[in-house]
Chains A and B, each alone.
Chain A
Amino acid sequence: GESVGLHLPTLSVQEGDNSIINCAYSNSASDYFIWYKQESGKGPQFIIDIRSNMDKRQGQRVTVLLNKTVKHLSLQIAATQPGDSAVYFCAENDRGNKLTFGTGTQLKVEL
């Protein structure tokens, strides 16, 4: 079943350090994965995506890694900045219409 809760995992990093946010997904049929950033009071904002036929994709300051063997997804943010502070969600799509979101990780960037 899916896990829900009021307390998000939190990752605290120093400004300038690299951040790694992890996500485990459950559906082995999922073929498309997305990372979203959600700032307080706002909607999810697309960051980067990856298809299941890839294991790595890079964007500007962000890299997504996909390990299908263990159903694990990670988001790496290089040189983390205060503006990166937000909740980060991974989401999966199994060829259907809907996105299934993970629980989310709160990233806090300390000055």
Chain B
Amino acid sequence: EPEVTQTPSHQVTQMGQEVILRCVPISNHLYFYWYRQILGQKVEFLVSFYNNEISEKSEIFDDQFSVERPDGSNFTLKIRSTKLEDSAMYFCASRTGGGETQYFGPGTRLLVL
């Protein structure tokens, strides 16, 4: 069964450093998402991406964040200058064009020191 994959599974970085989180969505999916989950809290929407552009973003997704689909398979989230409060699990999700169900990857645990 196809699934969303994410790398790395864990990332530790120093405050102020740039990080890139990578996702490979399910191959025939057209809509891509990033969510985050701070420890012990609920999953929060960050951004959605369709047809090579952002279709919606939340207040969390400020100028420090960017997304890119550099090729036909990868979908990345970049945090330009990490802050302590960026420490969280980051989940990538994708869905088909006709369906609404979003399928989630296993997440990347980001720890900013």
- Residues of chain A at the chain B interface (Cβ within 8 Å): 2, 4-8, 32, 34, 36, 41-46, 49, 89, 91, 93, 96-104
The answer to whether residues A101 and B44 also contact, given A43-B91, A44-B91, A96-B56 and a CB cut-off of 8 A, is yes
The answer to whether residues A97 and B104 also contact, given A43-B91, A89-B43 and a CB cut-off of 8 A, is no
Chain B residue at minimal CB-CB distance from A46: B101
Chain B residue at minimal CB-CB distance from A45: B104
Of B91, B103, B104, B107, chain A has the most CB atoms within 10 Å of the CB of B104
Give Cα distance in the complex from A65 to B43, angstroms.
22
The reply to whether B55 and A101 contact each other, CB–CB distance below 8 Å, is no
What are 28 residue pairs bridging A and B, where the CB atoms are less than 8 Å apart in the complex?
A: A2-B42, A5-B40, A5-B41, A32-B100, A34-B102, A41-B107, A42-B107, A43-B4, A43-B91, A43-B104, A43-B105, A43-B106, A43-B107, A44-B91, A45-B104, A46-B102, A46-B103, A49-B101, A89-B42, A97-B48, A97-B55, A98-B56, A98-B58, A99-B33, A99-B102, A101-B43, A103-B42, A104-B42
